[in-house]
Structure 1
Amino acid sequence: MNREEGAHEQRKPKRSSQLPDDFEPNEANRRVAAEQGVSISEQLPQFSDYHRAKGSTMKDWHAALNTWLRNARKFDRSRSDRSAQETPYERGQRMARERGIIL
């Protein structure tokens, strides 16, 4: 391969692919998890299951995992806050109001 071909190969954009079966977090992912105060061992199975179930394709799975880790606390908090504050009856009432159903 000559110099010109090598330069062309480096500029060629990555192709999107599905999450590899052997995907493992890298050091940058571990650093982001630590900075965000989330457990990578708890988040990785959720991340993997979610993207495999949807058939997601990405060009950079490590960048996608970093985004997931940065959002993990926000999404966990919104789920736990709502469920801790509402009884099943209150949830039904709220859902009816959101759908415009008058009880």
Structure 2
Amino acid sequence: MTYNSIARILAGMALVASSSSFAALPTTIECNDCNDTQRGQLAKNYLDQTLLMVDVVSRTVNKFTVDKQGNVSQNQVSLGDVNHVNRIYDHRKTTLRAAK
């Protein structure tokens, strides 16, 4: 194999790996000043998905998983999730954190 063919293979593998990682990102929605009931009701609109719910007012991020039947469960927000949301909301010049 030549250097060019190896470089092409590696570039193709990187492209496939990066595009598959984007597919795994959760849906990001906004719910400002929402209480637990409102967050749960909003999450039920997103069946069979993982959600990152952003509250810009209180600067928090919550993570929910909704199954096909509409059952909502709250998950722990990872550092990667918080970083992902902060990149999306960078234009607001505020830093969001995981809700406690």
Shorter-chain TM band: under 0.3
TM-score (norm 1): 0.26
Instruction: Determine which structure has the larger strand proportion and give its number.
Output: 2
TM-score (norm 2): 0.26
